[in-house]
């Protein structure tokens, strides 16, 4: 029997879990840039901690934590340009903050107010996509439009490891590969799809190889190493904008918190597993690297944490000062024209809202 095809999946890493370089860092990874990325990752973590506290005290609805994903998300945002389009899942706050989305908008959304999706970031970016995998189709469609119009921009989308078992995911990859679209698909492989471990989701040795069947370049990256994440994304996006086709990127990381605040991960995974992964988390390794370079110390860390806390507290005040939307919004923003029964229901809803204060 002869071999019809063979393939390899490259793996990219610059910093090991202890913050030690495993090879020379890319030229862009200088003091200024790495400090900027570290500060943003820290801000994301402070925000995430506060958001969980708000949910626990009844001031937010369900919230999807990004604890442990900071390098993956901030690295994606750092590599994108404003003209690119971002089609997020529902926990990529680091990428969105890099693109100008406000913390108060994230809080507004998880507080149950859809006006939070009206981002301050690029208006062509897509809102959060809770249905699993549909955002991949949105990105493929956007990328097709960019190619059709001859624009040098790319569409970026993110999915979890469980989402790579969805049909929409495969359809989007197939379209991106067949039409060689300016598309960069990312899967943030955090090893758990709520309570389902990766080993029960797929027989694949890597998730990256799922892009092979679509004819795409595929790469696996240490998702806790922001240098590797940004470098891989930067190269994939440059290639896409130059009309040289799509890329599928698997980022290996770990979800350190529950899937959402409606979940209790203690029911399905061990404390030993979580603690082992906590030692590899992204802030530890970058902080160690910049400290070893003489660029960072404990005093700077204290100042940064205080600055982040003030910024997050201000965002919470802004969020809590926004008046709740009128009950009529559910009618006014869903229909071009109301039928008579809907008009009647709208008036009843307004009267009931006024009567109940």
DSSP state of 21: B
User: How many angstroms separate the most distant Cα atoms in the chain?
Assistant: 79
Q: Which among 226, 232, 230, 229 has a CA at the least distance from the CA of 284?
A: 226
207: DSSP letter: S
Structure tokens, 189: 């492989």
CA distance 239 to 258: 36
Output Rg (C-alpha) for the chain, integer angstroms. Answer: 21
The verdict on whether 38 is a catalytic residue reads no
Rounded to a whole number of angstroms, the distance between the first and last alpha carbons of the chain is 77
CB-count burial class (<10 Å; 0-12, 13-18, 19+) for 33: middle
Please report where in the chains the tokens 């698909």 appear, as a residue: 185
Residue with token string 């890597």: 206
Is 354 in the active site? no
Q: Are 116 and 128 in contact (CB under 8 A)?
A: no
Is 138 among the catalytic positions?
A: no
Catalytic residue, from 255, 257, 285, 289: name it. 255
Cα distance between residue 231 and residue 220, in whole Å: 12
* CA 74 remoteness from chain centre: 8
**d(C-alpha 237, C-alpha 146), whole Å:** 13
Catalytic residue from among 69, 73, 91, 259:
259
Q: Of the residues 56, 268, 278, 333, which is catalytic?
A: 268
Could you give the residue numbers annotated as active site? 255, 259, 268
């Amino acid at each position: 029997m002869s071999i019809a095809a063979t393939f390899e999946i490259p793996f990219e890493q610059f910093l090991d879990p202890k913050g030690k370089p495993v090879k020379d860092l890319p030229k862009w990874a200088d003091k200024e840039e790495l400090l900027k990325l570290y500060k943003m990752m820290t801000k994301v973590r402070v925000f995430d901690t506060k958001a969980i506290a708000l949910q626990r005290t009844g001031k937010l609805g369900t919230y999807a934590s990004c604890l442990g994903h900071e390098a993956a998300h901030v690295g994606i945002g750092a590599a994108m340009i404003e003209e690119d389009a971002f089609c997020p899942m529902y926990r990529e706050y680091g990428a969105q903050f890099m693109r100008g989305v406000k913390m108060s908008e994230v809080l507004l959304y998880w507080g149950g107010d859809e006006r939070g999706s009206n981002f301050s970031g690029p208006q062509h970016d897509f809102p959060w996509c809770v249905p699993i995998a549909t955002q991949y189709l949105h990105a493929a469609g956007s990328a097709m439009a960019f190619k059709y119009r001859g624009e040098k921009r790319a569409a970026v989308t993110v999915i979890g490891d469980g989402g790579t078992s969805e049909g929409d995911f495969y359809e989007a990859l197939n379209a991106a590969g067949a039409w060689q679209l300016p598309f960069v698909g990312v899967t943030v492989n955090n090893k758990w799809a709520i309570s389902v471990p990766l080993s029960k989701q797929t027989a694949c040795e890597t998730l990256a190889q799922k892009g092979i069947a679509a004819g795409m370049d595929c790469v696996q990256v240490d998702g806790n190493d922001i240098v590797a994440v940004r470098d891989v994304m930067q190269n994939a996006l440059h290639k896409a904008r130059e009309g040289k086709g799509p890329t599928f990127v698997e980022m290996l990381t770990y979800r350190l918190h529950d899937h959402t605040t409606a979940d209790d991960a203690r029911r399905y995974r061990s404390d030993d597993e979580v603690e082992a992964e906590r030692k590899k988390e992204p802030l530890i390794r970058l902080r160690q690297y910049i400290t070893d370079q003489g660029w960072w110390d404990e005093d700077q860390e204290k100042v940064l944490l205080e600055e982040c806390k003030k910024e997050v507290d201000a965002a919470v005040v802004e969020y809590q000062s926004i008046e709740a939307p009128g009950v009529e919004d559910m009618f006014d923003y869903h229909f071009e024209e109301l039928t008579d029964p809907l008009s009647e229901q709208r008036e009843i809803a307004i009267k009931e809202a006024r009567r109940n204060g």
